[in-house]
Amino acid sequence: MEQQILTLVTFFPLLGVALLLFVPRDRTETIRGVALIIAFITLLWSVWMYVMFEPVASGMQFEVNIPWIKAFGINYHLGIDGISLLLIMLTTILTVIAMISSWTSIQKAVKGYYISLLLLETGMIGVFVALDLFLFYVFWEAMLVPMYFIIGVWGGPRKLYAAIKFVLFTMFGSLLMLVALLYLFFMYHGFSGEYSFDLMKIYGMPIPLGAQTYMFLAFALAFAIKVPIWPFHTWLPDAHVEAPTAGSVILAGVLLKMGTYGFVRICLPLFPEATLQFVPFISILALIGIVYGALVAMVQRDVKSLVAFSSVSHLGFVMLGMMALNVQGLEGSVLQMINHGISTGALFLIVGMIYERRHTRLIADFGGLLKSMPVFSTFFMIVTLSSIGLPLTNGFVGEFLILLGTYKANPTYAIIGASGVILAACYMLWMLQRVIFGKITNPANESLKDLNPREKLVLIPLVILIFWIGVYPKPFFERMEPAVKNIVAMVNKAGPVNQTDADKPTGADCMIGGNTCVVKADGNE
């Protein structure tokens, strides 16, 4: 059982899909129930997996490696480290929450909707557990389909435009990724005489700098579109605004993380020299994203697109921290992936809740909600504060480490990046002010019902996570630390830009004797 836990977590939602096929389409309550139960059991499996996970052990855990298509050396190779573990947890939690949140808002083609969500879950988890590049690619593409339907069928007025834009942008990137993948495949054959897509094996292959550069670019483009890094971000606001609430939650919460995860899992360790070469380039794009996203978010009129642009800004932080290529930056970056999933997911849920009541998302239509909906407004406030990184909420820990790590790598970047923290306060608080403070100017806002128990149930777990990560993030750090150190070591063995002791303070290394951080040079044994 323990050996198969990854398979179980990944494919359990498919079981739900199979079950749902046998439920008649007009029995919507049954459909919702079955889907929710399946997603919840998947969550329980993942919690069990979290418990079984060895925190300090380095390397992959729960590995499964059996041949799939032997002729091409394609294996069914799964395995997780601390980074993927956390992202899987995020996925399973957000899926359950997304399902509860769409309990009443989705009335059309309910069966197809829940099937799509379950398929999506399998696709997303699959991306995080796959250690075979071919398998990775399959999951990567597979999750496009359900997301396409979720936006395209259950979305807003411009849903088709948004859905097609989303798919085309992603496909454009992943096509290049496929080419690079095949190149890598044949190169590995040339290197070892064996056909294999196995990531763990390819990690060990030396790649000349020229080839690294091209492949890095191909992979990075695919991931950059997904993240999205400025200027590939324009699909994001459209997709978010048009997607149904649950779609936005999953999209922001998990799908974007697949891009950043791709960087961490593939680009950094496989192409270390190329990474070092492109660090300034990507960092600057990330910085532009941070500032630009924040500024544009400030002047949005639609709450949802404001949150969407804030995502661009936050994901800029994630990329910035990653490009610091030291333990603090990367750990902050990984944590910020989780944080963004929680905070922005919650923000989208909240926007969805008022949308359900008022059928508008324009900031100007609101005002004074604190009076008519105090509970709602309190949640709104907490989530907003976590999004702007107030200490003791999750956002602070991530952003602080990111900036700390970045400062080590390049103080100028950190200074510019930190200005994003100010801007975040500007746009979020301004929005908060216009939505929940002030007098009630629109009579429609006067008689709004406050949150019902179901809606509270959706938000409370997220708020708990917000404070948990903010106050006691140690369990998360413990689990990701070996993985992060591996990756840092793998990148840094490449070049002199960041030495392996980049992690030490410059002042003096004598006084922190007890707290050594020796990164192993050979990351993957």
Q: Which residues bind other proteins (CB under 8 A)?
A: 165, 168-169, 231, 233-235, 292, 295-296, 298-300, 326-328, 331-332, 368, 370-371, 374, 385, 390-392, 396-397, 400-401, 403-404, 407-408, 411, 414-415, 418-419, 421-422, 425-426, 429-430, 433, 436-439, 471-474, 477-478, 481, 485, 503-509, 511-512, 515-517
Q: How far is the CB of 73 from other proteins (least distance, A)?
A: 31
Task: Give the CA distances from residue 374 to residues 167, 182, 370, 381, 452, in Å, rounded to whole numbers and listed in that order.
Answer: 39, 56, 5, 10, 12
E strand or H helix that includes residue 465: helix 453-471
Q: Go through the chain and tell me how many residues it has.
A: 525
Taking residue 28's Cβ as centre, other Cβ atoms within 10 Å add up to 18
Q: How far is the CB of 295 from other proteins (least distance, A)?
A: 4
Comparing CB distances to other proteins, the nearer of 253 and 389 is: 389
Task: Give the CA distances from residue 174 to residues 48, 137, 165, 248, 262, in Å, rounded to whole numbers and listed in that order.
Answer: 33, 8, 14, 21, 12
Q: What is the distance between the alpha carbons of residues 240 and 208, in angstroms, rounded to a whole number?
A: 40
Task: Give the CA distances from residue 360 to residues 62, 251, 354, 363, in Å, rounded to whole numbers and listed in that order.
Answer: 47, 21, 8, 9
Question: Is the distance from CB of 229 to CB of 82 less than 8 angstroms?
Answer: no
Q: What is the distance between the alpha carbons of residues 185 and 198, in angstroms, rounded to a whole number?
A: 9
Comparing CB distances to other proteins, the nearer of 447 and 506 is: 506
Question: Is the distance from CB of 269 to CB of 203 less than 8 angstroms?
Answer: yes
Q: Specify the DSSP class assigned to residue 65.
A: E
Question: Is the distance from CB of 261 to CB of 87 less than 8 angstroms?
Answer: yes
Q: How far is the CB of 101 from other proteins (least distance, A)?
A: 23
At residue 335's C-alpha, the angle toward residues 334 and 337, to 5°, is 65
Contacts of 427 (CB under 8 A, 6+ apart): 294, 297, 298, 306, 310
Q: What is the distance between the alpha carbons of residues 262 and 258, in angstroms, rounded to a whole number?
A: 6
Q: How far is the CB of 420 from other proteins (least distance, A)?
A: 10
Token pair, residue 114, equals: 């829940």
Question: Is the distance from CB of 8 to CB of 91 less than 8 angstroms?
Answer: no
Comparing CB distances to other proteins, the nearer of 138 and 363 is: 363
Q: How far is the CB of 436 from other proteins (least distance, A)?
A: 8
Q: How far is the CB of 238 from other proteins (least distance, A)?
A: 8
E strand or H helix that includes residue 354: helix 327-358
Q: How far is the CB of 72 from other proteins (least distance, A)?
A: 26
Q: What is the distance between the alpha carbons of residues 226 and 472, in angstroms, rounded to a whole number?
A: 30
Comparing CB distances to other proteins, the nearer of 47 and 381 is: 381
Q: What is the distance between the alpha carbons of residues 477 and 498, in angstroms, rounded to a whole number?
A: 22
SS3 content of the chain, % helix, strand, coil (to 5): 75, 5, 20
Q: How far is the CB of 333 from other proteins (least distance, A)?
A: 11
Comparing CB distances to other proteins, the nearer of 200 and 489 is: 489
Comparing CB distances to other proteins, the nearer of 119 and 416 is: 416
Comparing CB distances to other proteins, the nearer of 66 and 511 is: 511
Q: How far is the CB of 411 from other proteins (least distance, A)?
A: 8
Comparing CB distances to other proteins, the nearer of 191 and 371 is: 371
Comparing CB distances to other proteins, the nearer of 447 and 515 is: 515
Comparing CB distances to other proteins, the nearer of 23 and 164 is: 164
Q: How far is the CB of 418 from other proteins (least distance, A)?
A: 5
**DSSP-based three-state secondary structure for 63:** strand
Q: How far is the CB of 391 from other proteins (least distance, A)?
A: 4
Comparing CB distances to other proteins, the nearer of 274 and 369 is: 369
